Structure 1
């Protein structure tokens, strides 16, 4: 083949390759824009088909995997969300967001050890990420590691001294450690703090949790007295 003809063919192939690449990138971005709009509108089920098309072409795409995980969780298919979320955690951009959702999804499915590992991945990067501390504390309680849960709940309370969830997680860890006097003191302290703050919703919840604690200890009279005071004050 003459050199000028060969050079012309190479140029044509390069132009076609660039055109195909540009078209593919445009198609990917247009699909992602469509998916983002669907998620913003709460239409998660409708986003699954375009995401699967996108992932057929680019199986490792971080945002597509993350958004597929979100869509599957939101549409009641958490077990199917685990694999795409795990893929998304491999990217720097989605390591935190995907890791948080992965950890909470695994916790929901009572895969406590895996939930702990997923939360570890987030906390290695952001040690003060409260949502990850919540999840890991709950997973540690589920896995029978109340001492580790106590460490996480204490960390939360260092960051947020009046945190309701951090306090309830600490109490749960203390109960599992059979440190019942400390658990009761924290229950009472939480209830009184919420009452003093005028936070009736949280105070009512704290009141109910305290009565449940007394029931779990077979302290029926105190449980009954607490329930009656809750009813009188909040109903």
Structure 2
């Protein structure tokens, strides 16, 4: 069987400089995290808190202008969508809960449903976006439930429960209606790659940075999409595989 080359996503493009670097490369997707401020503004930011005067302050208590005063190179959601429109596909990693369909609708309006994927750690948010997509004639919009979350600081019983739900995610995927398997690389190797194949669902593996792992996951057929902090190296490895896809 002949497989298409694995697609590549430049991981965690949180500033205009990072987005511009990704746009200068031949990556397929640009990945960025989306958070919500207290005034409802959507921003490109990884964490739900920011350090202010030596303390962690929730973004939910700040306006976008107050956050920009602390993070001068902050990008708004509108700004990153403008930067990508007509140039690259977007990988939205939604870090907030609630109104995820609204954020998705804005991206669809600016980029088109064929030019983005949506991922989140929250099962209910996946279901919300999937329901919205189907109601608006976009049943093929890829929405993934991310597996492999950090459990540091959780009680032991909760750590075990989370990991069990990730190693055996059948119920979570059925209830959330995710149509994209999103797995940390060690979970993908531990069985989620097979889970995706058996269900004929595309597999997104994150985050692949070592040369050995890049060579493994960029072999055609291993995954649909790989996210990496080393897109230039990944592109070189993928390029060397071009034309060597065996039947």
- The TM-score with structure 1 as length reference comes to 0.28
Larger Rg: 1
Larger RCO: 1 or 2 (CA < 8 Å, sep 6+): 2
More helix by share: 1
- The TM-score with structure 2 as length reference comes to 0.27
